[in-house]
Structure 1
């Protein structure tokens, strides 16, 4: 894993302005070598200048030791090297100082100006000294030799350290830029991983909600009817054996239907869960969030594709089951029937189913009106029950209620961009209304 930008920063463990101890050791070593060189070159300089040799040595030591501060003040090092060039001193200091200045973050115009001054100073000093030596030794190598030798010497002392310093500085800046980009990319990847994990958690929550809603729709209606029939069976078992047998058969049929729907749903969950586990096992840890989101999405898609859910054509069968349980249900349909998207038909069916289930739970025996309207761009449904009778054969069933039916219906309708309203009527009954866009 790539480390962060803070980890790339060098640890400041050196004294004063040095980032590292080895940098301080290197600069001090170069300063000592430069001081010794300048001290040795200070003896002939003092002899030519007519001063005591000790003064030339001290001057050389002081001038050469300036190389120690090359990282902090590279311009000062180059200027000192340029100042002692006429004395034929500071060869090492001039080369190292020029390299350090070129590799630093100084503006290009300052580096170019000082490099040009160093080149001109070396050229003039070389031209004068070499001319004096040739005249003293009586050498005559032609008029071209002196300028050529001076230019070659100046270029040899300035061009290599300058070009090397520019290359090292540019490479250093490039590496820093690449490191910053890598750190930025890592932060973005971490952010994406966090967002992917959030999306995966959201997808898992949505899937849990969807599964809970489907389980409620499958179990609540079937089991409620079974409990109602069982209560009725208990009441008429001795009085009307034939009707009791009929009710028992209905209870068995509804139980088998509920078990079949539960098995289908559990089969979808098993196949979807296996795909998610396989997906997670085949990807790196950094992509777990993305894989989880994709797996949850695929599981949801697989669940929808393998079991599209009920449709409006099954509405007559649903109402027939409620009528078989002793409820009086009137169904009215407005508009021309047409096909809708699977999720629209499934939601409309579930709303009617849950509303009828609530009537069985809270108003057993009440007359119920189911209205379905096919409109141009939407489908509307309404389930309204009248006040329950004072005495009902099914009232002793005491059906439990979790209080999630209306919430689940509202969530289903809202997910499709529809409107859901429920509440008691003035007559003492209860009304459930929903409008769902057709597309």
Structure 2
């Protein structure tokens, strides 16, 4: 504002001085010519808001030979402003033409006066237009070109500023996304550790409690059997400690960057959506016929087909964990605890990836733990089916035997949830529920990659 007011004052003074000569030429009172000049020159104060008006005033006052500063500053402001280029070109052409006409007329008067004063001065016909053209370009071209340069530079700076703001917003969004992924990774790691702790501790400790109850019952009657039960309790405790040491060793060795952040930062599928997908396949999930359990492929997740886990996922599950070849020993431990367990293997036995084998083992282990907790004395059938691109497991128990005293084991209600999380994480289907005979059935299907 200070610059505009200062320029307007200088322009008004210039036009006021030029108004004196204009008043003499047109036979007007000098004060009136000065007032006209002051009024016209002061229009420059609005050059930023209405640059077209300023240029039009300068063009209109060109015949009166007033407002040269106003014309120069007006052309610069017009070229630098966000005005359509066709308007800028038209007004610059008008100003140039008006200035050229005024220059030609003024030069002709000067040449005529020089011809009267000096009889030997005889300029040819090219002198007046050429000199007038040079003077016109000198007055109009520099402000227009400089204004175009300043306007382009200003628009470039604004574009760079907007781009910087946009990049800052994108970086902020990326930081928020990274924080969300880190939070999800921490939650997934907590769930994984909770599943491992639950599977390792719950099964072993449940069997130890069952054996301890049997030891208490048979100790007065059969000391030899009590000794065998005590040895079994010790073996199970040592196995539980060994598995806990292996799991804690993996946790100590894993780096923070190896957390299960999911492939390409993909978010974990919600359990509700996975539950709906499993419920949709519940009716055809497991059917036991003459040929054994018929379990369909269940590789559909909430977002479509879900493939096998990546190598990072396999590492997250712990490569040194239990495998399928340890299921026979697991079943035998339940038999030694007094449970009636039948183990059926169907299909060609083969090895799978560590994550698949550990998940299958944990599902069977947790299902047998639930039998010890909630169905004491019930008959149990464990089925394992090897097929082309999948492996299926089913643990089904009948109703509990009323004559068998339950071990009164506590339950946190996390066993089925943990099994479902394990299975759906590998792209499989998990189904559980009561049977018509009054028992309970747990079924899971895990996809196996071709060539695994």
TM-score range, shorter chain: 0.7 to 0.9
Q: CA deviation at 1:268?
A: 2.5
Q: CA deviation at 1:221?
A: 0.6
Distance 1:157 1:302 in 2: 79
Distance 1:387 1:45 in 2: 119
Q: CA deviation at 1:343?
A: 1.8
Q: CA deviation at 1:245?
A: 2.2
Match of 1:229 in 2: 211
| 1:111 pairs with 2:88 | yes
Q: CA deviation at 1:217?
A: 0.8
| 1:313 pairs with 2:325 | yes
Counterpart secondary structure, 1:403: coil
What is the 5 A alignment of 1:372-383? 372-383=384-395
What is the 5 A alignment of 1:226-305? 226-272=208-254, 301=313, 303-304=315-316
Counterpart secondary structure, 1:384: strand
Residue-by-residue CA offset, 1:310-357 (whole Å, 9 max, x unaligned): 211111111121122122221111111112222222121111111111
More helix by share: 1
Decide whether the 8 Å contact of 1:231 with 1:396 is kept in 2. Answer: no
- Which of 422, 433, 436 is the aligned partner of 2:432? 422
- Which of 402, 427, 432 is the aligned partner of 2:442? 432
Distance 2:157 2:385 in 1: 69
| 1:183 pairs with 2:160 | no
Match of 2:188 in 1: 206
Q: CA deviation at 1:131?
A: 1.9
| 1:215 pairs with 2:197 | yes
Decide whether the 8 Å contact of 1:45 with 1:56 is kept in 2. Answer: yes
Counterpart secondary structure, 1:421: strand
Residue-by-residue CA offset, 1:119-177 (whole Å, 9 max, x unaligned): 11111111111221122123445444322211110000000000011111111112212
Match of 2:337 in 1: 325
Match of 1:102 in 2: 79
| 1:350 pairs with 2:356 | no
Distance 1:354 1:137 in 2: 117
- Which of 398, 423, 434 is the aligned partner of 2:408? 398
After TM superposition, the score normalised by the length of structure 2 is 0.82
Match of 1:77 in 2: 54
Counterpart secondary structure, 1:397: coil
- Which of 12, 23, 26 is the aligned partner of 2:3? 26
Distance 2:12 2:393 in 1: 99
Counterpart secondary structure, 1:117: helix
| 1:386 pairs with 2:398 | yes
5+ long unaligned stretches in structure 1 = 1-23, 278-288
Deviates more, 1:30-39 or 1:362-371: 362-371
Distance 2:257 2:428 in 1: 33
What is the 5 A alignment of 1:142-153? 142-153=124-135
Distance 1:382 1:301 in 2: 24
Runs of 4+ in 1 over 4 A off after TM superposition: 273-277, 296-303
After TM superposition, the score normalised by the length of structure 1 is 0.85
Decide whether the 8 Å contact of 1:226 with 1:254 is kept in 2. Answer: yes
